[in-house]
Structure 1
Amino acid sequence: MAPVILFGMGAAKAGSSWLYQWLQRHPECHFRAVKELHYFDTFDLGSPSAKVKALTQQADRARANSAQLHVQSAISELRDLFRQPENVLSYIDYLEKGAGDARVVGDITPAYALLSRNRLRHMAMIEGSMFLYLLRDPVDRLWSHIRMIAGRQSPRGIVTAEAAEALLSSALAGHEPAIVARGDYHMTLTNLLEAVPEQQRLVLFYEELIEGPAAHRICDFLGIERQTPPQERTIMLGADLKRTDEQHARMRDFLQPQYDAVEEIMGRLPATWTGLEKV
């Protein structure tokens, strides 16, 4: 019996690393050593040749650092996939290599949230495909993303309050569409609900995942034994820089349409989204 193919989607900074690490340790799951494959978004929205170049550099670094052989193989084989025209069967072969009797294989790439409705529809036609979309409080997500990008732009990776504020102001003024698009829950939820049959999709609030019932829904959805996930909600938060009350208010005003859209589509908001807690 062919395994379930999990497409893990989500807004950037919404817990996909936590999900990958948890499911990778589940005895009934098999994930390659590269977490984010970026297969479909590269062919739709990016450049396969640029991806080959990036993976070549990643493979060189892995060899130089004496990374485990399965890590080096995962990177090199993924690079070979992008050297060919898009081929879903080759992609599935990549996912299933080494899977043995695993019931679930997968690709957890948050950027799949940016895919078109038509692309999601075609992915849903793949035998065994299932979609999991994680939502994180929009303000918390945006501030975490701002800190991450500001750190990448700093020569030493140090995020100052001034740099974060400049990037935030630019995003709120409409000059950072890539950052804002990653938190466009209304767009992704609309596309997902229209393109993917109900039985093939699951949407969860990340803040509720470490509480058993929400995590158990993932196991039930995938048809695997329930396991309690780690009690720490690991998110790659970036620099530890607190936002001010004024920044919080500006982000909340800007993102209010996202809160409204999620509440309308999901029927509720988590308690943590409606308070004034800061991450």
Structure 2
Amino acid sequence: MNKFVIGIGSQRAGSTLLHRVLEQCTPIYMHPVKELHYFDTMFNVRNPSVLHKFAVSHLNKDIDRIIKAKELGFLNKRFKNSLRTNFLLSTRKVQHIDYLDLFRPCVQGSKLLGEITPEYMILPPEGIAKMRATVGDDAKILLLARNPVKRFISAFKLLMYGLPDADNTLFEEEMVKLLNSTNSEWLKVQDALNDYETALTGYQQEFKHVLILSYDNLFGDVEGTAEELSDFLQVPVSLPNYQKITGTKVNALDETKDLSDGTIELLKSRYVNNQSFLDKTFGKDACIA
């Protein structure tokens, strides 16, 4: 019987690195589509049209790769899993898809199946309950946490990425305007993605095994994190592979822009309670990156 490892958050907190570590350093079969967006789409955290557009785009890329290939050695089970998943997600509503089907044809022979979708962090209680009913209460849940101010700045940079003339001045002006708004759905989502305490409590009520990891340790304490993951997941974690991965920059949008002290204080004030929770969880000098 298969068991699951589910990464539930947070955006801009190292989920790409964690997926790569689990995929390349453990015996867990990590889904080739890093973010499946199954449960968050089912419970309207994410608009179904966004998932459909994403799946169609990636399905077309998979097909194009096959058409243009001079040799087809890459047509292994993992590639078929990606192709099949994008086909299912682009042609059916998630309510009509069995979650386990998204991992075929790699279900047999893989005792542990995994995926990471950051928006799972902000599922409503009924969404978390549905996840438990689907994957079992013995699934291993991983929550990544990052300094809320730094995480917000990184998320905002992603939002602004590609905007013409997005220099520091415009970047900061747009951020302050957004922070002072009262009806921004994007801002509400970012607030929820910084609320690690609520997410942790919600998942602990439904699942037996929930681990919160810090972004700082994921990048900075490779040996300690490898040991922590191994103990929690009950699988070996290859330290040499992990060390090799962290030597490569994982995400091109990781750096943040310079902001004035006033804007930084505005952000710190907004997320003071979130940072306080992280200080209690990891220590005062943790979660600073």
Under a length normalisation based on structure 2, what TM-score does the superposition of the two structures give? 0.79
Given the alignment of the two structures, is residue 134 of structure 1 paired with residue 144 of structure 2, yes or no?
A: yes
The structure 1 segments of at least 4 consecutive aligned residues displaced by more than 4 Å after TM superposition are 65-73
Q: Distance in 1 between matches of 2:153 and 2:47?
A: 28
Query: Per the alignment, in what secondary structure is the counterpart of residue 257 of structure 1?
Result: helix
Q: Return the offset for 1:239.
A: 6.3
The answer for the alignment partner of 1:42 in structure 2 is 41
Q: Which letter does structure 1 place at the counterpart of 2:283?
A: L
The answer for the alignment partner of 1:217 in structure 2 is 228
Given the alignment of the two structures, is residue 162 of structure 1 paired with residue 165 of structure 2, yes or no?
A: no
- With over 3 angstroms needed to count, the CA separation of the structure-2 counterparts of 1:235 and 1:9, relative to structure 1, is farther
Contact in 1 for aligned 2:25/2:237 (Cα 8 Å): no
The answer for the alignment partner of 2:196 in structure 1 is 185
Query: Per the alignment, in what secondary structure is the counterpart of residue 14 of structure 1?
Result: coil
Query: Per the alignment, in what secondary structure is the counterpart of residue 234 of structure 1?
Result: coil
Deviations 1:167-203 (A, max 9, x none): 3213422433233332222331232233323xx2111
Contact in 1 for aligned 2:278/2:287 (Cα 8 Å): no
Equivalent residue runs for 1:85-234 within 5 Å: 86=95, 90-95=98-103, 97-125=105-133, 126-127=135-136, 128-152=138-162, 154=163, 159-174=166-181, 175=184, 176-197=187-208, 200-210=209-219, 211=221, 212-228=223-239, 229-230=242-243, 231-232=246-247, 234=250
Contact in 2 for aligned 1:5/1:105 (Cα 8 Å): yes
**The 10-residue stretch of structure 1 (69-78 or 2-11) with the greater mean CA deviation from structure 2:** 69-78
**The 10-residue stretch of structure 1 (118-127 or 235-244) with the greater mean CA deviation from structure 2:** 235-244
Q: Distance in 2 between matches of 1:240 and 1:262?
A: 21
Q: Distance in 2 between matches of 1:151 and 1:49?
A: 22
Q: Which letter does structure 1 place at the counterpart of 2:60?
A: D
Give 2:85's match in structure 1, choosing from 66, 77, 92. Answer: 77
- With over 3 angstroms needed to count, the CA separation of the structure-2 counterparts of 1:103 and 1:163, relative to structure 1, is farther
Contact in 2 for aligned 1:138/1:183 (Cα 8 Å): yes
Q: Return the offset for 1:14.
A: 0.2
Q: Distance in 2 between matches of 1:3 and 1:216?
A: 23
Q: Distance in 1 between matches of 2:195 and 2:7?
A: 16
Q: Which letter does structure 2 place at the counterpart of 1:192?
A: Y
Structure 1: gaps (5+ residues) = none
- With over 3 angstroms needed to count, the CA separation of the structure-2 counterparts of 1:129 and 1:172, relative to structure 1, is same
Q: Distance in 2 between matches of 1:11 and 1:27?
A: 21
Under a length normalisation based on structure 1, what TM-score does the superposition of the two structures give? 0.82
Query: Per the alignment, in what secondary structure is the counterpart of residue 196 of structure 1?
Result: coil
- With over 3 angstroms needed to count, the CA separation of the structure-2 counterparts of 1:57 and 1:252, relative to structure 1, is same
Q: Return the offset for 1:76.
A: 4.3
**The 10-residue stretch of structure 1 (105-114 or 217-226) with the greater mean CA deviation from structure 2:** 217-226
Q: Return the offset for 1:35.
A: 0.4
Q: Return the offset for 1:235.
A: 4.2
**The 10-residue stretch of structure 1 (227-236 or 108-117) with the greater mean CA deviation from structure 2:** 227-236
Contact in 1 for aligned 2:19/2:116 (Cα 8 Å): yes
Query: Per the alignment, in what secondary structure is the counterpart of residue 142 of structure 2?
Result: strand
Superposition CA RMSD, Å: 2.8
The answer for the alignment partner of 1:61 in structure 2 is 61
The total of aligned residue pairs comes to 266
- With over 3 angstroms needed to count, the CA separation of the structure-2 counterparts of 1:218 and 1:272, relative to structure 1, is same
Q: Return the offset for 1:72.
A: 7.0
Q: Distance in 1 between matches of 2:217 and 2:193?
A: 20
